[in-house]
Amino acid sequence: MVADMKFEDGTHVRLRAPEQHGAAAVGLLPGLGAHRLAVRIEAEPRQVADGVNHLSLSGEVRAAEGIGWIGSVLPTLVPLRTKATSMAVDLVVPVTSAQLLALEEHRAGGDLAVLLDLQGTLPQSTAHPAVGLQETYRVAASTWERQLESVGLTASFTVTVPLPMAHGPIRQAAEHLCTADRQITAGEYTDAIRETRLALTSMRKLGVWPSGGAKKRDDQDQADRYGILLDRITDQAAATPR
């Protein structure tokens, strides 16, 4: 990614993906259900008009190829009067665990591609102070997966699947989850954890997703990745005091 923001007053700032080998292209700071996704770019002031000291960046991040909106970029100030030729800037977007799962479904084991829809403004400029741009930002699969691992078990992934209550092999799992939902509402958290464990056991017995998969990452399909995720959740549940 290399993109230029050229303003009417002559200010010119170049934005690009990190060039240094091993530079963090994306970062995930885990939270309780909501996390901070930081997309790192480098900003290089090529020309700065008189009286202009900083650039303000805002905008949105979307999954590439029209999949959908991810979140809004928190307003970020970029100093322009600096001796450095370029500087690292983190574009921070709040994301939920469900959004991370949706990105995983879209990525399907490949590189992560997101669309940056950015607005740059120069608060101190005397000319037209706003410029917009759209650029696709790609993150290597290995880099993104390391960040997902850093979120670890603090991320509570929500998988939406049809669970028929009247009939079908997953009825039992559905009943356990509905019971757990009622118990959470009532504040009966210990009982809700037990019912969730029973739902996981029921889903695992169905064999919908592979268990204990030893495939290499490049050979895994989406079912294998779901199976690995379910293995981790099951292990976590087993380690939690009853």
pLDDT tens sequence across 101-129: 778 777 777 888 888 999 999 998 888 88
**Measured distance CA(242)–CA(236) in Å, rounded:** 12
| Highest mean predicted confidence (pLDDT) among 140-144, 166-170, 237-241 | 140-144
The mean pLDDT value of the chain amounts to 79
pLDDT of residue 191: 85
Quick one: which H or E segment has residue 197?
Answer: helix 189-206
Nearest by Cα to 15 from 80, 70, 72, 65: 80
Architecture of domain 2-153: Sandwich (2.60)
HSE-up (13 A, CA, CB side) for residue 129: 13
pLDDT of residue 67: 63
**Measured distance CA(49)–CA(69) in Å, rounded:** 34
**Domain ranges, ordered by start, for the chain:** 2-153, 171-239
Q: What is the pLDDT of residues 151-202, one digit of tens each?
A: 764 444 454 545 555 566 677 777 888 888 787 767 787 888 788 888 877 7
